């Protein structure tokens, strides 16, 4: 992977990007087994990756509650342009409060990668499955934490975890099952280094009759406080819970991303920040190059958004 300054990760990278949809395997008429399951994934996928020949690390990204994977296509393209393959499963169409099935579905997708991902990638593009990372937004961030904490057995080890404004229910004491947060400082011993990205407006309601989209006590700050090192925490002060999504999110679900959650306005700066921070973190823990992440820590003013929190914690209190 190329080495860039911390400013470079916030811009589109040097790779041209392909974006492809992959259908899920479905039961055949004559059998309860999944037809073509050796190649097709257990859930529909949106995959972004470099067009150029080469071998690239994989990031699995889990969508937020009642969102679609397509709402993150511009974010996927940003990360992929820096030399990563981004796999975004559509975990469900309709779901209740219990996230157990989502955790199982996400684990099934990760398990499928080893035998199936190569069959849906462009020619001469290879996935480095020794370096699989997981990310998720909102409820998807909670599911990502659940996977990294062992709530489902994974066939592949995780290299890094990035939670984007994660949410564990409607409030303290109102967590969705299975609860992840437990109110104990540094008690979550995750199987991979963790970055928690938060929003300053996510904890604020859009209006007097609406609940906040990322309630205080079960959102980014609580995840960071309960996560054992190594972990880092970055908060975009003036942006909201869905501001890293695409500029255009069509349909009723897309409209909900704008009318239910408080927003900081144009989404492009927040999307560039989340994409760039993700790339910097993956370069540190997947590529072994911490320059971009160290740059964000030393000069947070270089980010495309104002950061109200920049916290890094490891055993020696050095960089994340």
Residues serving a catalytic function are: 138, 165, 241
Pairing of strands 54-62, 85-89: parallel
Q: What is the DSSP letter of 261?
A: B
Contact between 234 and 195 under an 8 Å Cβ cutoff? The reply is yes
CA-atom Rg of the chain in angstroms: 18
Contact between 320 and 230 under an 8 Å Cβ cutoff? The reply is yes
36: left (phi > 0), else alpha (psi -120 to 50), else beta? left
Dist CA 60 CA 144 (whole Å):
9
29's CB contacts (< 8 A; 6+ apart) are none
φ and ψ at 163, to 5 degrees? -105, 120
Please tell me whether residue 298 adopts helix, strand or coil conformation. Answer: helix
Lookup: tokens for 110: 């990760």
Dist CA 107 CA 301 (whole Å):
37
266's CB contacts (< 8 A; 6+ apart) are none
The secondary element (H helix, E strand) that includes residue 277 is helix 268-285
Dist CA 155 CA 60 (whole Å):
14
Token match 């592949």: residue?
A: 156
Dist CA 106 CA 258 (whole Å):
26
**How wide is the angle at C-alpha 180 spanned by C-alphas 176 and 186, nearest 5°?**
150
């Amino acid at each position: 992977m190329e080495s860039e300054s911390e400013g470079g990760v916030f811009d589109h990278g040097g790779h041209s990007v392909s974006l492809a949809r992959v259908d899920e395997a479905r039961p055949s008429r004559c059998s309860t087994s999944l037809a073509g399951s050796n190649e097709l994934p257990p859930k529909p996928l949106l995959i972004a990756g470099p067009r150029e020949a080469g071998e690239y690390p994989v990031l699995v990204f889990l969508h937020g509650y009642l969102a679609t994977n397509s709402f993150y296509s511009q974010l996927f393209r940003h990360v992929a342009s820096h030399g990563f393959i981004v796999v975004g499963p559509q975990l469900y169409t309709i779901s209740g409060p219990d996230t157990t099935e989502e955790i199982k579905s996400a684990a099934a997708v990760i398990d499928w990668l080893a035998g199936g991902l190569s069959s849906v990638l462009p020619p001469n593009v290879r996935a480095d499955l020794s370096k699989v990372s997981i990310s998720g937004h909102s409820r998807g961030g909670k599911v990502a934490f659940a996977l990294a904490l062992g709530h489902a057995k994974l066939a592949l080890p995780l290299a890094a975890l990035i939670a984007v404004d994660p949410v564990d229910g409607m409030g303290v004491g109102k967590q969705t099952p299975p609860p992840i947060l437990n109110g104990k400082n540094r008690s979550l011993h995750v199987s991979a280094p963790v970055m928690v990205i938060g929003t300053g407006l996510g904890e604020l309601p859009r209006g007097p009759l609406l609940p906040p989209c990322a309630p205080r006590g079960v959102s980014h700050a609580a995840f960071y406080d309960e996560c054992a090192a190594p972990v880092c925490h970055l908060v975009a002060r003036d942006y909201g819970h869905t501001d890293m999504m695409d500029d255009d999110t069509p349909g009723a679900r897309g409209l909900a991303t704008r009318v239910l959650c408080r927003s900081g306005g144009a989404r492009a700066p927040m999307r560039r920040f989340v994409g760039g921070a993700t790339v910097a973190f993956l370069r540190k823990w997947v590529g072994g190059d911490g320059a971009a992440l160290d740059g964000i820590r030393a000069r947070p003013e270089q980010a495309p958004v104002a950061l109200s929190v920049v916290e890094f914690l490891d055993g020696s209190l050095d960089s994340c």
